[in-house]
Structure formats: structure tokens, C-alpha cells
Amino acid sequence: MKFRFRRQGNDPHREKIKQDLFAFSKTVEHGFPNQPSALAYDPKLQLMAIGTKSGAIKIYGAPGVEMTGLHKDTAAVTQIHFLYGQGRILSLLDDNTIHLWEIVQRENRSHLVEVHSFNLPGRPGIESTSATRVTVMLLKLSCDLLALGTEGGGVLLFVMLFTCLVIPLFSVPEEYKCGKSLGPVESLQEHPQDSDKILIGYSRGLVVLWDLNSRHVVNLFLGKQQLESLVWERSGNSFVSSHSDGGYMVWAVSSSNPCTHDPISSTVPYGPFPCKAVNKILWRTTESGSPLVLFSGGMPRASYGDRHCLTILQDSSHVTLDFTSRVIDFFTIHCTDKDKEFDDPSALVVLLEEELIVIDLQMAGWPTVPAPYLAPLHSSAITCSCHISNVLPKLWERVISAGQQQCPLQNYEVGEKSSYSSGELSGHEDGTVRFWDASGVSLKPLYKLSTANIFQTDCDHNDSLTQAGEEEWPPFRKVGCFDPYSDDPRLGIQKISVCKYSGKLVVAGTAGQVIVMVLSDEKSDHMIDVATVDLLQDREGFTWKGHDRLPPKSGSVVFAPGFQLVVLVQCMPPAAVTAVTLHAEWNLIAFGTSHGFGLFDYHRRSPVLARCTLHPNDSLAMEGPLSRVKSLKKSLRQSFRRIRKSRVSGKKRAVVYSPTNKVSFPLRCSSRFHQVQEANAQLAEHDAEVTPVQRRIEPRSADDSLSGVVRCLCFADTFLRDGTHHGPTMWAGTNSGSVYAYALDVPSQEKFSEQSVEALLGKEIQLMHRAPVVSIAVLDGRGNPLPEPYEVSRDLAKAPDMQGSHSVLIASEEQFKVFMLPKVSAKTKFKLTAHEGCRVRKVALSNFTSISSEEYSENALVCLTNLGDIHMFSVPALRPQVRYDCIRKEDISGIASCVFTKTGQGFYLISPSEYERFSLSARVITEPLCRVDVERPHDLSAHRNITEEDGRPPGILIN
């Protein structure tokens, strides 16, 4: 007895094991930066930097080279500039502060670190009209001078140790002496051949060529239009200005004419009607002939004022790139060697609000170059995610091959660093499923599967009309894949299940569609095989008020190489699918909605089982997720009912299982739990005690709305009928805490075509307090999760222990319970301890390998709560191991989107376009291990900040 009541203490040996197994770290952010606001490029180091409105700076190089820095204050990055070849960045924020960043080496890898900051005078905020508010920055190529143009029209020069010099006021031409100022400085450009001269452009149109050495005006250019941007021609003999009227002008720089009134040429490409401003222009010389002109904006205001465009002009070639999101900035990759005569640009890089576009400027037609990473995950809104671990290279090669046929320019090779890799599948609102290689730092796009071609949607006819009625001028070309508008919201993918060994895939959608697909290397053409499963089973008194199902195409459909349709299973009513699972070895899929669940044999194209889980009072389940009808009175009434019931100490409900019973159709939906409560009252005793550290779980109403929603489904080869004969089973858990277990008679592979699958109801379990069932998993005799289909038969996993007694782990929103099989007797449990209304949101079983020894590993139950914290428990003992804060509890979408991997990692959306990747394993960590080696003329860490006490303006050393 002394061992039984001995106070639990920390076991040093166990603590060491936990340290070797578990460690939390946020490792890398996948996807496209949310709300980008600035762009920069270093041609020497071939690094690109993107700044965001949240104050982040992200640096990208070759795939795998990524670094992130975050400003201390959450202010938008308005400009960023590389110090050429030095691995340093200057950033300007909208609070009028300048920050210096360095790429430093720590632990044999590169990090982006802020080393200095400089507060400029002036009120922060976009609405500020302060004369010292910085509008534009120019960092000289030699990195020895920083010029800042201000809103008040002044130019501040910071030389060497940031000694501030102000350009003296030059004589303003008569044309500009009208009582108005010159306006803000819009552009500062260094002379391409003479670094001592800079071009200063003012908003009202005046452009000044200034000599830094003699501090005087070399040339004045008297433009009449409001200035937007300036760019030098490579020789320095001319420059180009773009204006608010949608035009651009070419100006000659001549020493014989210090004051120029008229440009060489003036062009409004999309005139003569009023046009929007040309925000930025680039002029690149080419050895082949005419210069290449690239500019953003300038579209006819009345007809195409809402378009986001960038134009490329060269001789008679003219393309208007039409984007679906706003142009933030762009640059060209071209020759920067001063000894060369021509720019000869090779590529155009355009940063848009929602994606990054790269255009090949050397190939005919200027095609788009597929990016190896930085793809917009949210090209259509992400609706679900699925992760697959240890994918065999052969399957990856087939998926990659199908992706390359979709996009011939996509160049991707399977990495040789590992015989296995991992993948992320994202389901989207437009009915697409995208495959990503998630085995490294860069989330690489592999293949896109579209399910819209299976259905007849309203948009099919409209697209052809739009294409036919499109005008030839301007010569628009749709570019990019970001499409925020779904053709039909019913296409949205809700659940994904995949078998990585057989190439089978199941995707389920918003209108009750469950699509079974198989990977094929050849093109095919066939009719759509449709099977309908009625989950209501002709229940009286219920009328579906939601959306209609998606009608499948009637004719023959062409399927490209990749995943191709096997059968379309249509749930009726066509409510959104809430759970789906696949067992490719048994040729079975299971699916659930808010009305019930079904079992389908896709080899014989026949339904095996349909069960209604609706409560008679559940009217909300009749309306569907896309219905706008919702009774406010009913919601309030249910809220008050919950409050009343929470104040009453209700009798505890027992965990119940029913005797084996053959399934018959139609099934009645009413519960039979009260008939067997007495026989299972002993199971309730395990819930009688409530320890002081655990929150008391309140009972829930049996007639709560959406109580019939099927939350989870699983297949398992286990003991359900008796303790000596194991066989296929299917388990389903609902929102009301009900668990249904079915014994399945599955014929052998040779007799699949002859015999049909049969389902026998084995057990019904009703959890106390009716907490929603989040997850169900069957454990073998050693307490290990059962292997996936084909893993054992193909010698890819150890066979499960079929000698000892199996158990089932049922996770609800409020507690975890392990029941012994086949008697379904409670073995152990854990109530989640929290006083703030903690609820389980995501659960997974993961394997953790020790960092000290590859031979030692443990399985653990990983749990994410609605508070954003992660708990881990031993399996099957359910002893708490570690706890980590992961996601902010206010980030509801992040918590809802989280998925765990089988190796102890996880993904969740930190924005509509970015996954945050984290690791719970001390051994398995995917993080950037890149190293960028740079040579710097000076070490900034050896210098001190300059303060106002020195008698000079505060600043930073930048040379």
C-alpha cells in the first residue's frame, strides 16, 4: 500500500527521457508573406527581400535559403534597400524610423538581426504632413551615402557616420514661383556613370540633377505633369519620368543646356482618354535593338481603372499583364556591370499584394516562370489541410510527373537526401486540391487537382461569353493564379483522405460530394459513375432547406494524367461532409455529415451502410452551412436552456454499449441508450470522482443543435465480437458524444467482385456529458496505434500485436478515455484540467524518437486546445508529459487549421497565405540551415551609435 499512496515526485531518469524526446520550436513559415508592402533585390548576393505591413522582413535566396526578421514595433515597412553585396538591409517604417539589419552567422547558420535604429523627427502616421516625413530613400551603390527625400521637399544626406547635410535651396525657376511649394520628393536616382550626381524629382514635376561634390544644380528639367517616378537610361545621357496622367517622358541630359523645358518624347500609351497614373517605370537597354519599357498603371480610367496591370513594351511587341491583385513593386534581373554597354534584362520580378510573379524576358512572348517556392497557398481560400508522412519516392515521382505535364516549365527533382519525404495537401474553396512537397524548408508546389470538371456549374457558360466579348486593346494577358472568387461555393473541399501506398485519394466537399480517385499516369476519357446514399433514410418531418447538390456532367469527361475519378458518391441531403476516411486494402470509404454517416464499397460501386444520427429537435442541421436562415429566437432559447441546465446537478450518464445487432434499413434515429444504462452503470463509477485540480464537466443537452454531426471516423482490424477473433471494424463519433462501432465482413481480394461487404452493429457508446467526440484510435496489445493499410503487407511496418488485448482511445472535447476491447470496459481516462472553459480542438497520435538514441521511441497523444496550448500524454496510460504554448487563443482560424504530423511536427495558418511550421520533437526539426557568406568593408558591431550629445543628429553607421 505504501507504493500506492506514495506521493508522486519528479523522476530524474524520466525527465531526461522527456528532454530527449520532446522540444517545442517554431521552425519556418511556409507560403507567401501576408500583406507585403516593400521589395528589394541584391544582384550581387542574389537575395530578394520582402517587407510587410506587420513589420516583418523576409529574405529569400535559392530554395532553402530563407531568413526572417521582425521589427520591435508593429509598423508597416514602406521601403527596404540592400547595401550592395554586404548582406545588410535598411528599412523605412511608416512611423518615420530607419532600421539597419545584418545577416550574421550563429551556430554555423545565417540569421537576420537588427543592429541599429534611427528615429527621424516628425509625427508618425500616414496622414502626417510633417516636412521631415521621409517619402523616398536612395542608398548609393558605394554604400557611403544615404539620401532621404521628405514630404516637405527637402533632401537629407547622411554621409559616413550619418552626419546630416541638407541640400541648400537652389533658385526656383519662374514657372514654379506661384506660391506653392515644389511638393514632396517623389524620386531619388543615382547617376549610373557618375556616382557624385543624383536626380531629384519633385511631385509638381520639377526634376533636378544635383552634384554632391560641388553642391550645386547641374541641370533643371521643367516638367508640367505631376511626377510619379524616375529612372536613368544606362548611359546616363537621358532619363525617363512617369506621370499621373498615364504618360511617360524621355529627357536628354546635356551640359550645354542647364535648363530643359521640353522632353525628347512624351507618350501616353493608353490615351487619348484620361488614364490613371504610371506609378513606376523601368527603362532597360538591350543589345538586340529597342529598349524594353516596363511600367505599372497607366490604364484608361473609365474602362479599366480597376485593373491591376503592368505593361511591357519593345518595338511592336506589347503585352499588358493583367493581375488579380495590386502591384506593390517590381524589378528586373539584368547586367549591373558598369563596363557592359547594355542592360539585357533576363527576368522581371513583380511583387503583388497576393503573389509573386516572374516573367522570362529573354524567351519569345515573355512567358511566366513558375516559382520553385513562395507560391500563393491561398490562390483560392484554404478550406482544409492534410499531411502525409514517409511518402515513397515512386509515388512522389508519379505526382511530380503529372504536375510537370500541367506546367511544362516546372523544373523539380526528387531530393536524394532521404528515401522518404512528406507532403502537405491543401483543399480549397474552388474545389481544387494542391500537393506540396513539405520535406524541406521551402514548400514546393507539385501538382494541382481540380474537381470542378466533374460537375456542371453555372460558371461554365459565362466563361465562354467573357472570353468572346473581350477586346483586343489593351492586349491583356491574365497572369498569376490568385483567384479570390469561387465559381461555386459548393465546390469547396472539406475533408481529404489519401493512401500513399496505393495512390487512392478521397476528397469530400461542401455539397455532400465524396469523390474517390486513383493516380494514373495516362490520360483517360470516361463517363462519371455516380452513387447516391440517403443518410436520412426517408425520415419523416425533415425537409432539407439548404443548397442543392452539384449536378455531375452527363457526357464523357477527359481526365489528364494524375488523379482520376473512380466514383462520385453523393450524400443526401447534400450537406457539407464533416468526416471522411479511406481503407484502400478493403476498398472502403466512410463519410459523415451533420445528418449521419455512410459506408461505401467503391470496388463494387455500392453502399454498405447508412446511419442517421439526427436528433428530432435538430432543425439547424436541415439548413446547411450555406443557408442564410437561422433563428435568433431558437439560438437564444438554447443558450438559456444551457445556462439552466448548468446550474442543475444532473444525473451522470453511463457509457453504454449495445449487443451486436444486424443493421437493417431504414434505421431509426431515436436513441436506445436508456434500455442498457443499468447494465453499464459500473462504467459511470469511473467518472464519480472529480479531483481538485480538474474542472467539473457539465452535462450537455441531448437536443442541442447539430448534435448529430459526425466528427470522426476510423477503420481498424481489431477485436469487437469477442476476444479471440479479430477482424475489420469501422468506428464513428458524433457531436453528442455517441460512438458507433461496426464489425465488417470484408471478402478476400480474390472474392471482392463476387461477395459484398456487410456491416454489423457491434457496440454503441454514449460518453458522459455528451461531449463531442474529436478522435477515435484503436491501439494494439502493446498500446501502439495500428499500422496504415498496406504497411504490413508490403513490409513497411511491424505487424501489430494481435495476442494481447486491444483498446480504443476516444478523445472528446473534454477528456480522453481508453476502453478495453472487446468488452468496452473503461481502463483509464484523463480530464483536461483548465478553469477557463478549455476544450480539445485537435488530437493526433505521433511517434517521437529520442535525440540520444535512434533505437528508442515513444508514441504520444498530442492535443491542441481552444486556448492554443499543446498537451502531450503517454499512450495508453494517458499520463501528462509536457505542455507548450503554441497559438494565441484569439487566433481561432489558426487553431481550427492546425494539423499534426506522425513524426511530431505541425502546421497552422498564421494568415490566409502562410503556414507556421512547428516541431514538438527534439529530433525531427525542419528549419532553415542556410549560410550566406558576405565580405563587409566595416564591422558595424565595433562602432557605437551616435547620439544628440555628440552635437550632431542621431544616426547609424552604414558604410
DSSP-derived 3-state class of residue 928: coil
pTM for this entry: 0.85
Give the tens place of pLDDT for each residue, 337-354: 888 899 999 999 999 999
Mean pLDDT score, 661-688: 36
Mean pLDDT score, 153-175: 66
Whole-number average pLDDT of the chain: 84
Residue 955 has pLDDT above 80, yes or no: no
Give the tens place of pLDDT for each residue, 729-762: 999 999 999 999 999 999 887 777 778 899 999 9
Residue 75 has pLDDT above 90, yes or no: yes
Give the tens place of pLDDT for each residue, 420-475: 588 999 999 999 999 999 998 989 999 999 999 999 986 654 444 344 345 578 99
Using a CB cutoff of 8 Å and minimum separation of 24, what contacts does 258-261 make? 258/217, 258/218, 258/219, 258/220, 259/173, 259/219, 259/220, 259/222, 260/219, 260/220, 260/221, 260/222, 261/222
Phi then psi dihedrals of residue 559, to 5 deg: -115, 125
Q: Give the whole-angstrom CA distance, residue 394 versus residue 400.
A: 10
pLDDT at position 181, please? 74
Are 33 and 56 contacting, i.e. CB atoms less than 8 angstroms apart?
yes
> What is the CATH number that goes with domain 33-119?
2.40.10
Residue 702 has pLDDT above 80, yes or no: no
To which residue does cell 547594355 refer?
342
Q: Give me the amino acid identity at 787.
A: P
Burial environment of residue 664 by CB neighbours within 10 A (0 to 12, 13 to 18, 19 or more): exposed
Name 25's Cβ contacts closer than 8 Å, sequence gap at least 6. 918, 919, 925, 927
Mean pLDDT score, 929-956: 52
From its phi and psi, is residue 125 left (phi > 0), alpha (psi between -120 and 50) or beta?
A: left
Q: Is the dihedral of CA 332, 335, 336, 341 positive or negative?
A: negative
Give the tens place of pLDDT for each residue, 503-518: 999 999 999 999 999 9
Instruction: State the cell numbers at 776.
Output: 477515435
